Amino acid sequence: MAEDINPEAQETPEVEKPKKKKKSDKMSMPAIIGIIAGVILLQVVLIMVVVQVFFSTGESEEKSENAGNSEVVDTEEAEPAEEDGEERDFFTDDSNKLYLETGKIVTNPKLSSKYVAVNVGLIYIPKESVEAEDLAESSPMMMKLLAEVKSKIIMTIGSMLPEELQENRDLMPEIFREELKPIFKEKDIYLREVLISEYIMQ
């Protein structure tokens, strides 16, 4: 005899309903690539603009600086040419040349405990506008000139190392002359020659 089946006890299989596909939140690959390309392109354009502005500014500043330097160089080159011409006119006549001696000058070279002793002779030619009494060694002008000359010689030696003084020993008269010429020129005097009658370094 068949057993009674309890309809409540019998489980009925549940039929799963097909799940609806959710719309994907993710963007499509072509859209992402397009955005990235746009960002990169924008950055490249910005970099090019910045570089162009930077270089154009630098070039303009460099041009203006070079123009200024060229003007300075031209002026500096023109002055010695005029001065040399005047000096040549004065040097053709040696009858009015004068001689001045500094006496012994003792000082130290740069960064050294050694000392240098020099005695410098100066051959110079004054302009006609300089009064004869001003050219006397005891005159205030010449005493001041001699003090400035000694000071410049001390400064020149003090700016050179002992090795430089040894290497340039033969050139020291010309080095001194170039340093001293402006001092003489201020007083309407042309420095023709510098002689070193004594040079000792110990």
Of the listed ranges 15-19, 39-43, 91-95, 108-112, the one predicted with least confidence: 15-19
State yes or no: pLDDT of 128 exceeds 80: yes
Separation between Cα atoms, residue 70 and residue 82, nearest integer Å: 19
User: Over 90: is that where the pLDDT of 96 sits?
Assistant: no
Average pLDDT, the chain: 78
What is the per-residue pLDDT across 40-56, written as a single tens digit (0 to 9) for each?
Answer: 877 877 788 777 776 66
Whole-model pTM: value is: 0.57
What CATH architecture does domain 98-201 belong to? 2-Layer Sandwich (3.30)
- Ranges 25-29, 54-58, 198-202, most confident: 198-202
Q: In whole angstroms, what is the distance from residue 30 CA to residue 94 CA?
A: 96
Higher pLDDT, 167 or 93: 167
* Residue 125 pLDDT > 50: yes
What value does the mean pLDDT take over residues 178-190? 95
Q: Which residues sit opposite 62 in a β-bridge?
A: none
pLDDT tier, 72 (very low <50, low <70, confident <90, very high otherwise): very low
- Rounded to whole angstroms, the Cα distance separating 73 from 169 reads 30
Q: Which two tokens stand for residue 89?
A: 């006119």
Nearest to 96 by CA among 130, 140, 120: 130
pLDDT at residue 164 greater than cutoff 80: yes
Specify the pLDDT at position 141: 96
